[in-house]
Amino acid sequence: MKRIIKIILLVMFVSACRAVEDGSRQQQNLIVDQDVFVQKRHKMVKEQIERRGIRDKLVLEAMRKVPRHLFVPDYLKDQAYIDSPLPIGNNQTISQPYIVAFMTEALKLKGDEKVLEIGTGSGYQAAVLAEIAKNVYSIEIIPFLGKQADEILKTLQYKNIHVEIGDGYRGLPDQAPFDAIMVTAAPEHIPQPLVDQLKIGGRMIVPVGDLYQELILITKQPDGSIKKKSVLPVRFVPMTGEAQDKK
């Protein structure tokens, strides 16, 4: 009997050691990955983002910091810093780095804002926003993607990002109003609930359209009306859910 107990204890000890080893190996991989990819990331910022006119220092710093390769599928890690969107599964994409920077700069964040993002996808854009803003709420309609993004964001210790699974068309009334809203899937019209959840003076950036889409920058005026400006032709995946019912 004593021998059996000894064997059980030994097996438990060995598995505990393995778990610790696996954990630190995973941690090490993250760190090694960052060392390997840091140069690519700096090159991406210089050649794809600064060269195209993005000047906001906070945005450039965030783009230099967030390890984009950890937000793409393993087989695409080597291509994570190319000048293009990439597939992330479920027919969805992580946006092109320049578009991430352009949309972030358009929100003119300074650091103490509460931001809402619609379309978490990989979680990369949420991480870039969270490097600058105080709190980021991000809604994803595909549960698998939302959960996966939440996991990587937690591994990377982003405590100021709150991922919600659901249809972002109606925003998050419980957390409203927001200083800034970013929509990363294209509805055919501007969702009114999101406009309603924007603070006076707040900014929202949203791709609108079907085959032809424009990035629209909205600013909420002191009287509650909105000012709209088309800032860039773009190509985003469509916003699904209620946005499509309301066509």
Ligand X SMILES: C[S@@+](CC[C@H](N)C(=O)[O-])C[C@H]1O[C@@H](n2cnc3c(N)ncnc32)[C@H](O)[C@@H]1O
Q: How far apart are CA 109 and CA 180, in angstroms?
A: 8
Q: Two tokens at 94?
A: 């992580």
Annotated catalytic residue within 15, 84, 95, 225? 95
Q: How far apart are CA 234 and CA 116, in angstroms?
A: 20
- Under rule CB under 6 A, residue 209 binds ligand X: no
CB-nearer residue toward ligand X: 143 or 201: 143
CB-nearer residue toward ligand X: 9 or 54: 54
Nearest by Cα to 181 from 162, 204, 202: 204
Nearest by Cα to 125 from 144, 155, 152, 165: 152
- Under rule CB under 6 A, residue 239 binds ligand X: yes
- Under rule CB under 6 A, residue 148 binds ligand X: no
- Under rule CB under 6 A, residue 184 binds ligand X: yes
8 A C-beta contact, residue 187 and residue 210: no
In whole angstroms, how close is the CB of 244 to ligand X at the nearest point? 8
Beta-bridge partner residues of 115: 136, 180
**Contact positions with ligand X (CB under 6 A) in 12-31:** none
Q: Which range in 19-27, 141-149, 214-222, 223-231 contacts ligand X by CB under 6 A?
A: 141-149
- Under rule CB under 6 A, residue 129 binds ligand X: no
Q: Two tokens at 16?
A: 């505990």
Q: Two tokens at 98?
A: 């320049």
Alpha carbon distances (Å) from 165 to 11, 31, 105, 147, 193: 40, 29, 26, 8, 17
Nearest by Cα to 99 from 6, 223, 170, 182: 182
Is residue 230 annotated as a catalytic residue, yes or no? Answer: no
Q: Could you give phi then psi for residue 181, rounded to 5 degrees?
A: -135, 135
In whole angstroms, how close is the CB of 52 to ligand X at the nearest point? 19
**Contact positions with ligand X (CB under 6 A) in 71-100:** 92-95
- Under rule CB under 6 A, residue 141 binds ligand X: yes
In whole angstroms, how close is the CB of 141 to ligand X at the nearest point? 4
CB-nearer residue toward ligand X: 185 or 217: 185
Alpha carbon distances (Å) from 200 to 178, 189, 230: 9, 21, 20
CB-nearer residue toward ligand X: 171 or 202: 171
Q: Which range in 34-42, 74-82, 140-148, 222-230 contacts ligand X by CB under 6 A?
A: 140-148
Residues assigned a catalytic role: 95
Give me the residues that bind ligand X (CB under 6 A), please. Answer: 92-95, 118-119, 121-122, 124-125, 139-142, 145, 167-169, 184-185, 236-237, 239-241, 243
